[in-house]
């Protein structure tokens, strides 16, 4: 699918496709067993992918929102974990891109293009879907800086990140409007990174708990204005939900490719199982759904690139794509029969990876509340 | 060159340091087959370039050359593209051969295209078969796409019809002691190529025998999981008095050197016994080993093409069988 | 230093099939890529440029869509591209391919080093490089690994099956490079964004000054009479079945019968 890509976007797609085939897909099983792959991160940086959508003045590639979705989509065809890593990285770094001061952009975006890793910290152990219920706090310090206390849970890229964008309450009585965002370097005194979560899937992306014990931050650690953190985070999640659509489309295609190769080779009753109608019907449905995911994803990315509001569309994209991706991976596992249950044949890993897409960056339930509420209120 | 004036089958007798390449003999034998099919009137000529190489002339007769054109010059002592090109072009223009065969070796593939270009004729690359069709036309079979597709190439009007031929696809004759033929000694004038200087040469160190000289081979392919598994295959090969070899994927991933790769893009082998382990059998691999004496294959996919050429097969995960086989052979050897 | 690098578009697979009806290659669903060894050639060219300065011109001959591989070469960092495209060039054999490529090199002029991949993965002739060199009357070094430039000479490592040679060749010269020479870089986003703004030329046979009887089918001494899939062999295979130990015993029995052990 080209979806009216520019000539440059087609070239970038081809390049990432080749990169994924050679560098990413062969590492996916290793990452499932061993966790984050620093070597691959180095290669992503060398290939100029870490900052592909950042302006050239920061050392980026000068691409737009569609370009970055192309990268995530293509990477997910080889490894959902790596695509998720990049999604989480951009979710955090882009808060600086959209809300940072010129000085903050110069400092951090240049590093982002050079491969420094960013993590976005909103969720806490007692505040996931109910994001406004976070308990971490920041109070002004005497020197004009800030003091951060509390903790976070389920933070993607934690443990490997160089910088954290942390959401914390600056005005406990102001609800949503009392939340602000701060940039916290990994070596900040008082920052403790917990052990890696023993996750079901997406094991190539790191996830840990964080705890903050009187972390002293300088005045310019504040990102955006006071009290705007929650709004910034919700906007950022709109973008991240498009990325989840891209991961779902890519992972589904990866699973379908493995299943397709298997179906064309595996013989039963004297013919390849691909010649049995029961199998063909599965591929008919899966391929149609993958195309729908791609269309939703790229159309929403286009809206973002054009600067249009896309909260509803991003939620719809993620809800549809995440849900269908899990079902497609299960169907592909079924195509492989007993072998689908073996780790050697990869598809069981895809099933484990896929489930995250129905949970992270807004659960299906939260998305349905958002979409249902919006649609019913529309005139 | 005018087609009707051209006659004779030439074989470029490639030599380095006074040693003829084995492919020369394969080409001489095949030339006899072509001669017969073309009506028996063509002379089979070996063209020998070098310095002080006249001692090789009798060997060329012994392997089937009816005539040898010997061009000696101090500037032809070591191979260099442009001097060899010039001499071969001059000789071809003088004697007008109809067919000119080269080995598809580094030297053959280096010089033949230049000669072909100067003679404005055709050159078929890396042929795996040569024949004459029902119309009396010389036809070359050449692999494309790693041997998955074959082409029949013809050079209808231009002469000579030039071909580089894949090594080890034809059987040489048994050398006939005392065989003789006609020697044409050409005194050639040729300048050294001062623009091309070989500064130094370092010979590769090979472990074990070259795979095309082994009676027994154990070959591993794409399905081999780890380098430790590969070492098991090596242990097995050594127990059987042979060497370990591989198909292309294990060379591509760097586990095995190119000289141990079987296939059209590697080495063609004909051992007495070959065990293929976790090799599905691409066309180019099959072409590189299908003339082996006894072919046995272990692959967990029953439909793998390797079984099309195998005398014995076991459809099973190699990791279950190889350790058991090593134990079994050790046990029998101990008794 | 001016480097010309020749790249070819090939199908992205060895696993090609023939149409059972027409007997032609089935191209449908097969993606096209830059010949992998030509990517090594581009990498060599770019490394030499980075080390010694100069410009790199990528050249390809083929139908208009062959421009894709030139765009990739620009994305990798080449400075200019030349597409040689003309219906009159179609159906060319190696001689009639090398000729317009040599003409393009002459038209560009003042070249120092010409680089080709060792061979293309479709026809695997490995002839184009030497033919270009022969047309231009320049020396060649085939099968190169590492290459350095010293005072108007290229010093090349030549990777032969039994040995490695160090060869010095006077520029201008043509070299062909092996896969072992380097690890080709990926196009980078920054170069991709600049690629389409770089000078990109398309030349036809007339603009190259090609003699009409030297190109296309009339200029091709050799022709493809027939393409076909290799015949399948069907050897009677005796299969061993059972537990691994039983299979091992059966294999050992064969080895004894064959006097291997």
Least confident of A207-216, B199-208, C152-161: B199-208
pLDDT per residue over A263-290, tens digit each?
Answer: 988 888 888 899 999 999 999 999 999 9
B303 contacts A265? CB cut-off 8 A: yes
In a domain, C225, yes or no: no
Nearest by CB to C139, from B81, B204, B329: name it.
B81
Name the pLDDT band for B180 (thresholds 50, 70, 90): very high
| Nearest residue of A to residue B223, measured between CA atoms | A344
Neighbours of chain C (3+ CB pairs under 8 A): A, B
Has residue B60 been placed in a domain? yes
Residue showing tokens 């807004």: A362
Question: Do B230 and B295 sit in the same domain of this protein?
Answer: yes
Nearest-neighbour CA in chain A from C140: distance (Å)? 32
- Whether residue B66 lies inside any domain: the answer is yes
Residue A163 pLDDT: 98
3-state secondary structure chain C: CEEEEECCEEECCCCCCECCCCCCECCCCCCEEECHHHHHHHHHHHHHHHHHCCEEEEEEECCHHHHHHHHHHHHHCCCEEEEECCHHHCCCCHHHHHHHHHHHHHHHCCCCEEEEECCCCCCCCCCHHHHHHHHHCCCEEEEEEEEEEECCEEEEEEECCCEEEEEEEECCEEEEECHHHCCCCCCCHHHHHHHCCCCEEEECHHHHCCCHHHCCCCCCCEEEEEEECCCCCCCCCEECCCCHHHHHHHHHHHHHHCCCC
Report, as an integer, the average pLDDT of B52-71: 97
Q: What is the mean pLDDT of each run of 10 residues along chain C (261 residues)?
A: 97 79 77 94 98 98 96 97 97 96 98 96 92 97 97 96 94 96 93 94 97 96 91 85 92 92 86
Q: Pick the catalytic residue: A33, A331, A361, A365?
A: A361
Tell me: do B307 and B229 sit in the same domain.
Answer: yes
Helix (H) or strand (E) holding A304, with range, is helix A277-305
* DSSP-assigned letter for residue A108: I
- Output the pLDDT for position C163: 92
Comparing alpha-carbon positions, the chain A residue that sits nearest to C196 is A8
Domain span at residue C85?
2-214
The residue segments making up the domain with residue B225 are 211-334
Euclidean distance between the first and final Cα of chain A, in Å?
Answer: 34
How far, in Å, CA of A61 to CA of A68, rounded? 10
Domain assignment of residue B239, yes or no: yes
Residue C159's CATH number:
3.40.50.620
Whether C177 maps to a domain, the answer reads: yes
Mutation site for A-interface testing, chosen from C42, C184, C192, C197 by largest number of A Cβ within 10 Å: C192
CA distance B314 to chain C (A): 5
Distance from the Cα of residue C9 to its chain's centroid: 8
- The DSSP 8-state label assigned to residue A64 in this structure reads -
The answer to whether residue C207 is domain-embedded is yes
Nearest-CB residue to C187 (from A7, A11, A60): A11
Minimal CA–CA distance to A57: which of A98, A99, A102?
A102
Residue of B nearest to C152 (CA): B195
Do B120 and B217 belong to one domain? no
Measured between alpha carbons, how far apart are the two ends of chain C, in Å? Answer: 62
A24 touches chain C (CB under 8 A): no
> For chain A, how big is the Rg over CA atoms in Å?
21
Q: Is B94 on the interface with C (CB under 8 A)?
A: no
A111-141 tens-digit pLDDT? 999 999 999 999 999 887 887 889 999 999 9
When scoring C248, C257, C259 by the number of chain B Cβ atoms within 10 A, the one with the most, hence best to mutate, is C248
Helix H or strand E segment including A236? helix A229-265
Do residues B173 and B225 share a domain?
Answer: no
3-state secondary structure of B93: helix
226-245 of B, contacting C, C-beta below 8 A: 239-241
pLDDT at C29: 76
pLDDT of residue A148: 98
Residue C253 placed within a domain = no
Does B275 lie in the same domain as B179?
no
Q: How confident is residue A1, by pLDDT bands cut at 50, 70 and 90?
A: low
B225: nearest CA partner in chain A:
A344
Nearest to C229 by CA among B145, B148, B305: B148
Q: What CA–CA distance (Å, rounded) separates A212 from C8?
A: 57
Among residues B71, B27, B83, which one has the least CA distance to residue B47? B71
pLDDT band at B266 (very low <50, low <70, confident <90, very high): confident
| Domains in chain C, number | 1
CATH of the domain at B91: 3.40.50.620
Q: What is the ipTM of this complex?
A: 0.91
pLDDT band with cut points at 50, 70 and 90 for residue B298: very high
- Count of CB atoms situated within 10 Å of the CB of A194: 16
Residue of C251, C253, C258 to mutate for B, most B C-beta atoms under 10 A: C251
Q: Rounded mean pLDDT of B285-312?
A: 91
- Please give, rounded to a whole number of angstroms, the shortest distance from the CA of A38 to a CA of chain B: 21
Name which residue leads in pLDDT, B50 or B284. Answer: B50
The closest CB to that of C192, out of A11, A18, A60, belongs to A11
CB A309 within 8 A of CB A239: no
Contact (Cβ atoms closer than 8 angstroms) between residue A157 and residue A193:
no
- Evaluate whether residue B316 is within a structural domain: yes
Q: What is the pLDDT of residues B19-59, one digit of tens each?
A: 999 999 999 999 999 999 999 999 999 999 999 999 999 99
B178 inside domain:
yes
Count of A-C CB contacts under 8 Å:
45
The minimum CA-CA distance between B184 and chain C, rounded to whole Å, is: 28
Among C222, C237, C252, beta carbon nearest to B124? C222
CA distance B153 to chain C (A): 5
- Both tokens assigned to B206: 């090979």
State pLDDT tens for residues B217-253. 999 999 998 889 999 999 999 999 999 999 988 987 7
**Residue A75 with chain C: CB contacts under 8 Å:** none
Confidence bin at A2 (pLDDT 50/70/90): low
Verify whether the Cβ–Cβ distance A265 to B302 is below 8 Å. no
- Quick check: B301 contacting A, CB < 8 Å? yes
Rounded to two decimals, the pTM is 0.88
Q: Rounded mean pLDDT of A57-76?
A: 95
Q: Say if residue B10 is in the same domain as residue B134.
A: yes
Task: Find chains touching chain B: ≥3 CB pairs under 8 Å.
Answer: A, C
Which token pair is B161? 């019809």
Residue C143 belongs to a domain = yes
Residue B220 shares a structural domain with residue B272: yes
* Option in A11, A56, A67 nearest C75 (CB): A11
Q: Which domains does chain A have, with CATH numbers?
A: 7-117 (1.10.540.10), 119-230 (2.40.110.10), 232-377 (1.20.140.10)
Q: Does B33 touch chain C (CB under 8 A)?
A: no
A361 is catalytic: yes
In whole angstroms, what is the distance from residue B178 CA to residue B62 CA? 7
Residue C252 falls inside a structural domain: no
Peptide bond preceding A263: is omega within 30 degrees of 0, i.e. cis?
A: no
pLDDT digits (tens, 9 = 90+) for B89-128: 999 999 999 999 999 999 999 999 999 999 999 999 999 9
- C170, part of any domain: yes
Q: Are residues B222 and B249 in contact, defined by beta-carbon separation less than 8 angstroms?
A: yes
Does residue C226 fall inside a structural domain?
Answer: no
Mean pLDDT of the B268-284 span: 92
Q: Please report residues of C whose CB lies closer than 8 A to that of A6.
A: none
pLDDT band at A321 (very low <50, low <70, confident <90, very high): very high
Whether B131 is in a domain gets the answer yes
| Residue of chain A minimizing CA distance to C189 | A61
For chain B, what is the domain count?
A: 2
Residue A33 touches chain B, beta carbons under 8 Å: no
How many angstroms away from the CA of C32 is the closest CA of chain B? 13
Q: Does B302 touch chain A (CB under 8 A)?
A: yes
Q: Check whether residue B25 and residue B73 sit in a common domain.
A: yes
pLDDT band at A371 (very low <50, low <70, confident <90, very high): very high
Nearest to C161 among B215, B259, B272 (CB): B259
- Asked if the C-beta of B148 comes within 8 angstroms of chain C's C-beta atoms, the answer is yes
C33 CB neighbours in chain A (<8 A) are: 18
HEC string of B203-216 equals ECCCCCCCHHHCCE
The CATH number for B227's domain is 3.40.50.1220
Does residue B193 fall inside a structural domain? Answer: no
Minimal-distance CA residue of chain B relative to C174: B196
Residue B248 lies inside a defined structural domain of this protein? yes
């Amino acid at each position: 699918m080209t979806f009216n890509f520019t000539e440059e976007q087609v070239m970038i797609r081809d390049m990432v496709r080749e990169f994924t085939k050679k560098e990413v897909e062969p590492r996916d099983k290793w990452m499932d067993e061993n966790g984050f792959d620093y070597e691959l991160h180095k290669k992503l940086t060398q290939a100029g992918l870490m900052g592909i959508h950042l302006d050239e003045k920061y050392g980026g590639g000068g691409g737009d929102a569609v370009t970055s979705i192309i990268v995530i989509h293509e990477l997910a065809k080889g490894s959902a974990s790596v695509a998720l890593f990049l999604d989480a990285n951009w979710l955090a770094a882009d808060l600086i891109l959209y809300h940072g001061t010129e000085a903050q952009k110069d400092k951090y975006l240049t590093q982002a293009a050079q491969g420094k890793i960013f993590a976005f910290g909103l969720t806490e152990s007692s505040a996931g879907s109910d994001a406004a219920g976070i308990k971490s706090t920041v109070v002004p310090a005497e020197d004009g800086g800030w003091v951060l206390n509390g903790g976070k849970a389920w933070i993607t890229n934690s443990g490997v990140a160089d910088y954290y964008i942390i959401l914390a309450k600056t005005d406990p009585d102001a609800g949503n409007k009392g939340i602000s965002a701060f940039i916290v370097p990994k070596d900040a005194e008082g920052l403790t990174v917990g052990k890696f979560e023993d996750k079901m899937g997406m094991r190539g992306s790191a996830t840990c708990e964080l705890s903050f014990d009187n972390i002293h931050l300088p005045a310019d650690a504040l990102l955006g204005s006071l009290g705007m953190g929650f709004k910034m985070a919700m906007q950022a999640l709109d973008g991240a939900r498009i990325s989840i659509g891209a991961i779902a489309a890519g992972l589904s295609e990866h699973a379908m490719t493995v299943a397709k190769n298997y179906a064309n080779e595996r013989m039963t009753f004297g013919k390849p199982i691909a010649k049995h109608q029961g199998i063909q019907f599965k591929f008919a449905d899966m391929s149609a759904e993958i195309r729908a995911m791609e269309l939703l994803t790229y159309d929403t990315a286009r809206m973002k690139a054009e600067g249009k509001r896309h909260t509803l569309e991003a939620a719809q994209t993620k809800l549809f794509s995440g849900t269908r991706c899990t079902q497609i991976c299960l169907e592909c596992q079924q195509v492989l029969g007993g072998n689908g249950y073996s780790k050697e044949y990869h598809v069981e890993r895809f099933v484990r990876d896929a489930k995250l897409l129905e949970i992270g960056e807004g659960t299906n339930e939260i998305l349905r509340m958002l979409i249902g509420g919006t649609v019913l209120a529309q005139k | 060159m005018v087609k009707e004036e051209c006659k004779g089958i030439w074989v470029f007798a490639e030599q380095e340091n006074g040693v003829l390449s084995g492919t020369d003999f394969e080409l001489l034998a095949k030339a006899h087959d072509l001669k017969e099919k073309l009506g028996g009137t063509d002379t089979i000529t070996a063209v020998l370039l070098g310095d002080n190489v006249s001692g090789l002339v009798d060997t060329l007769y012994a392997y089937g050359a009816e005539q040898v054109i010997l061009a000696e010059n101090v500037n032809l002592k070591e191979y260099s593209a442009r001097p060899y090109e010039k001499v071969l072009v001059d000789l071809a223009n003088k004697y007008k051969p109809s067919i000119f065969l080269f080995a598809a070796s580094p030297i053959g593939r280096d010089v033949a295209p230049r000669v072909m270009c100067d003679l404005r004729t055709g050159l078929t690359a890396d042929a795996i078969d040569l024949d004459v069709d029902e119309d009396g036309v010389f036809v070359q079979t050449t692999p494309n796409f790693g041997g998955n597709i074959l082409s029949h190439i013809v050079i209808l009007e231009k002469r000579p019809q030039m071909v580089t031929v894949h090594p080890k696809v034809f059987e040489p004759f048994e050398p006939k002691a005392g065989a003789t033929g006609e020697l044409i000694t050409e005194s050639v004038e040729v300048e050294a190529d001062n623009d091309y200087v070989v500064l130094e040469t370092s010979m590769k160190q090979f472990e074990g025998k070259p795979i095309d000289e082994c009676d027994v081979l154990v070959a591993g392919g794409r399905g081999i999981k780890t380098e430790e598994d590969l070492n098991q295959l090596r242990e097995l090969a050594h127990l059987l008095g042979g060497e370990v070899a591989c198909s292309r994927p294990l060379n591509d991933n760097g586990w095995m050197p190119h000289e141990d790769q079987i296939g059209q893009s590697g080495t063609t082998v004909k051992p007495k016994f070959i065990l293929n382990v976790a090799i599905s059998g691409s066309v180019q691999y099959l072409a590189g080993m299908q003339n082996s004496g006894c072919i046995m294959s272990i692959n967990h996919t029953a439909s793998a093409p390797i079984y099309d050429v195998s005398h014995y097969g076991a459809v099973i995960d190699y990791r279950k069988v190889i350790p058991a086989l090593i134990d079994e052979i050790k046990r029998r050897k101990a008794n | 230093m001016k480097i010309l690098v020749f790249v070819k578009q090939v199908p992205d697979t060895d696993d090609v099939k023939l149409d059972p009806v027409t007997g032609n290659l089935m191209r449908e669903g097969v993606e096209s890529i830059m010949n992998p060894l030509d990517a090594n050639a581009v990498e060599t060219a770019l490394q030499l440029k980075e080390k010694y300065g100069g410009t790199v011109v990528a050249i390809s001959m083929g139908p208009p869509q062959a421009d894709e591989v030139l765009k990739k070469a620009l994305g990798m960092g080449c400075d200019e591209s030349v597409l040689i495209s003309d219906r009159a060039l179609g159906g060319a054999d190696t001689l009639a391919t090398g000729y317009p490529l040599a003409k393009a090199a002459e038209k560009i002029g003042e070249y120092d080093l010409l680089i080709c991949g060792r061979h293309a993965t479709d026809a695997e002739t490995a002839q184009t490089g030497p033919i270009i060199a022969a047309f231009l009357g320049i020396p060649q070094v085939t099968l190169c690994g590492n290459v350095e430039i010293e005072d108007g000479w290229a010093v090349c490592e030549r990777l032969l099956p039994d040995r490695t040679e160090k060869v010095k060749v006077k520029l201008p010269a043509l070299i062909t490079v092996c896969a072992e020479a380097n690890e080709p870089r990926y196009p980078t986003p920054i170069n991709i964004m600049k690629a389409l703004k770089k000078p990109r030329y398309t030349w036809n046979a007339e603009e190259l000054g090609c003699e009409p009887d030297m190109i296309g089918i009339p200029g091709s001494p050799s022709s493809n009479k027939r393409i076909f899939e290799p015949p399948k062999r069907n050897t009677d295979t005796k299969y061993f079945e059972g537990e691994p130990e039983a299979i091992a015993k059966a294999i050992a029995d064969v080895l004894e019968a064959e006097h291997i052990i």
